[in-house]
Structure 1
Amino acid sequence: MDKLEGRKITTSRSLSYTYYTSQRTTESKEQRALLFCHGFPDSAFLWNDVLAHLGNIPHKVVVPDMLGYAGTAKPLDKTLYNYAGMADDLREILDAEEVDKAIVVGHDWGAAMVQRFYAFHADRVAGIILLNIAYHPPSKPGDPRFDLQGVNELLQNAYGAPLWTYWEFFTSNDGPQLMRENLEKVYEAQHGDVPDWGFKMFCVPGAWREYVVGSQTVPLKPYAKEKRWRDSFFGQFEKDSFEAPVQWYRAMIENVQYEVEVKIPTERRKIEVPVLFVGCTQDANNRIDLIEIPKEAGLLPQLEVKILDCGHWCPMEMPKEVADFIREFLTKQLC
């Protein structure tokens, strides 16, 4: 990140964004850029090591703090986190950087966002790279509205666990404040180094609340012990509440996203550009095999799948491998 230039923009929705960018190594504006989108609860710094391992690729890089995080606006109105509006915000950032088309790279909620960026602005996307989160086609007219309890019951029946049960704590009235008051426990909950930790924290009802307010502690994975990652997380959330980041979850469970997704043309459910999905074996609630559902439905005709043996935060835990996958994808598909 040290080699990137920090910039600010206020979008047409009157929302301020901080983002970081490099210059092209060629003069041609035809060269595709890379747009990196992080998820919960991170910032643009999530991509630091991945970018370092990518080195001097011939692509402009654009790395925003996503809405609700770090140097970007932190509204508490969940409706501002609708996919259509945030896709427009990202398009305006690309416009400001004179980027015609981008390879969009997303992790966690950032992976969900780049999927929807394609749905709303397919003409600006040359390729998609999804880390950890498989493709979930947008809702279409006639589909049921999102119901978290119903979704978790379906996941329980299909996979033996309510994979999204942690959403209940994140979107509870006291969840954000409890996380703010117990930052060390939140950090451990994300990056604990014990067998099946991801399953125990994310797929067991009540686990997040019990851990955050309880006395149990667990060791951290080696990468999470590094001062720079700790400083980035604690520096951000000692200052900022979790109230803004959890609006991403609230926008989903309160059907803000449903209302904009049903307006997406049906043909946009099929992604007509190359897609790379990187799944992680230790990411219990984001199962690798979920990518098979849209693949078998014919919605990902240019899909490539790579697997890493790590947890949810692969850009932190295995950045070189992530960078190698990205470089290979760019070379094979887009250059």
Structure 2
Amino acid sequence: MGEIVHREVQANGIRMHVAEAGSGFPVVFCHGFPELWYSWRHQLRALAEAGYRAIAPDMRGYGGTEAPEDPRQYTMKVLCADMAGLLDALGLERAVFVGHDWGGAVVWQMGLRYPERVAAIVGLNTPYAPPSNRRTTEALRDYHGLTDETFYMRYFLRPGVAEAELEADIERTFHKMFMDWTRAEDFTTFMRVGGDGSGVLARIPDDRRSFLSDEEIAVYVEAYRKTGFRGGLNWYRAADLNAEEEGAPQGPQLHVPAMMITAANDTILKPEMAAAMPALIPGIRMEHLERCGHWTQQERPEEVNRLLLDFLAGLGLQQG
């Protein structure tokens, strides 16, 4: 019942790798940086066993999905068209969308851009914010009180620099990045580019403490040895271009069944950043996980699965 199968589809003009499990009402999972469909493995199995069709693509730029070189091919308009194209390729009219990190930004945008394709939205860590003409990397830099030298998003904008750091030793990169809630200080060091611009990983101890097993980390290492990090970094390099989009949806409110899950020890996507969401998304369900860092669905899969299944059960969706 919970067996994960893989396929390739054509969606929005690119080849997309998709992992799926189960049958029933579709639930699409959108991952963030630097992850893969694999970050949702626990959710795919749990939802399949509960009677849903769980679908997790490698997002544009990642894993087995194509990675255009031009950052302009990673704007929110394009990324949301990818997800609408995925539904088209699978012959689906609507789905529940679940997103984490950059995938969280995509699923909230799906509610604005393709409301007729969205049955409900679940966001992990990434808050919904009404569209703005502010440049994303500058707005978040200023929110955290940092500088171009000491904010990771601005560091990521420099072509080739982050690639060189992250690809120097990919196994070490993932051991340093996949840190649990007890290493929130290290996550802040990542955000601050070491505090001195030396690199996002340079000042993080190489003690191999992770909530993932060596076998799980090896899945990421194998994938990124093939692709490198450029595709994922292009999401950051496109972020400020979203402010220039003509005819972008404005909101500010989003009218769709929704749940937001915040994590107490995520020092970049802080829980307080979601404080305005109940006013912006009427009826939203707000949930919070203590002792949880940034990698929520992988660090706390049982709690995430429980919340997801409870939320889905309350929607009264036809499960096929």
Q: CA deviation at 1:214?
A: 6.0
The one-letter code sitting in structure 1 at the alignment partner of 2:77 is: A
2:102 and 2:261 mapped to 1: Cα distance? 14
The answer on 1:316 being equivalent to 2:315 is no
Equivalent in 280, 284, 288 of residue 303 of structure 1: 284
5 Å-filtered alignment, 1:122-161, equals 122-139=115-132, 143=133, 145-146=134-135, 148-149=137-138, 151-156=140-145
Q: CA deviation at 1:172?
A: 2.1
Residue 272 of structure 1 corresponds to 255
Equivalent in 63, 69, 79 of residue 76 of structure 1: 69
Residue 7 of structure 2 corresponds to 7
5 Å-filtered alignment, 1:11-30, equals 11-12=11-12, 14-25=13-24
Residue 43 of structure 1 corresponds to 36
Residue 97 of structure 1 corresponds to 90
Q: CA deviation at 1:45?
A: 0.6
Deviations 1:32-76 (A, max 9, x none): 310101010111011111223335222222211100000000111
Deviations 1:134-177 (A, max 9, x none): 112212xxx4x416345423432xxxx67991112222231112
Q: CA deviation at 1:104?
A: 0.2
The one-letter code sitting in structure 1 at the alignment partner of 2:260 is: F
Q: Secondary structure at the match of 2:262?
A: strand
Q: Secondary structure at the match of 2:144?
A: helix
1:219 and 1:81 mapped to 2: Cα distance? 32
Residue 28 of structure 1 corresponds to none
Deviations 1:253-296 (A, max 9, x none): 3x2x1233x52343x4311111111111110111111111243x
**Aligned pair in 2 of structure 1 residues 172, 97: CA closer, same or farther (>3 Å)?**
same
Q: Secondary structure at the match of 2:280?
A: coil
Q: Secondary structure at the match of 1:230?
A: helix
1:128 and 1:306 mapped to 2: Cα distance? 13
Q: CA deviation at 1:15?
A: 1.1
Equivalent in 133, 141, 153 of residue 167 of structure 1: 153
**Coordinate RMSD, CA, aligned:** 2.5
The answer on 1:200 being equivalent to 2:189 is yes
Equivalent in 170, 183, 195 of residue 170 of structure 2: 183
1:58 and 1:16 mapped to 2: Cα distance? 28
The one-letter code sitting in structure 2 at the alignment partner of 1:315 is: Q
The gaps in structure 2 that reach 5 residues or longer are none
Residue 247 of structure 2 corresponds to 263
Asked if 1 retains the 8 angstrom alpha-carbon contact of 2:131 and 2:249, the reply is no
The one-letter code sitting in structure 1 at the alignment partner of 2:162 is: G
1:239 and 1:294 mapped to 2: Cα distance? 39
**Aligned pair in 2 of structure 1 residues 211, 129: CA closer, same or farther (>3 Å)?**
closer
1:281 and 1:196 mapped to 2: Cα distance? 13
1:10 and 1:321 mapped to 2: Cα distance? 34
2:263 and 2:102 mapped to 1: Cα distance? 16
- TM-score by length of structure 2 reads 0.88
Asked if 1 retains the 8 angstrom alpha-carbon contact of 2:95 and 2:118, the reply is yes
2:44 and 2:55 mapped to 1: Cα distance? 11
**Aligned pair in 2 of structure 1 residues 149, 334: CA closer, same or farther (>3 Å)?**
same
1:207 and 1:323 mapped to 2: Cα distance? 39
- TM-score by length of structure 1 reads 0.85
Moved more, 34-43 or 167-176: 167-176
Runs of 4+ off more than 6 Å: none
2:272 and 2:15 mapped to 1: Cα distance? 37
Q: Secondary structure at the match of 1:212?
A: coil
2:226 and 2:267 mapped to 1: Cα distance? 30
Asked if 1 retains the 8 angstrom alpha-carbon contact of 2:44 and 2:55, the reply is no
Asked if 2 retains the 8 angstrom alpha-carbon contact of 1:126 and 1:274, the reply is yes
Asked if 1 retains the 8 angstrom alpha-carbon contact of 2:26 and 2:96, the reply is yes
Asked if 2 retains the 8 angstrom alpha-carbon contact of 1:282 and 1:311, the reply is yes
Asked if 2 retains the 8 angstrom alpha-carbon contact of 1:128 and 1:276, the reply is yes
The one-letter code sitting in structure 2 at the alignment partner of 1:331 is: A
2:56 and 2:34 mapped to 1: Cα distance? 16
Identity across matched positions, percent: 24
1:195 and 1:311 mapped to 2: Cα distance? 7
Q: CA deviation at 1:23?
A: 4.6
Q: Secondary structure at the match of 1:63?
A: strand
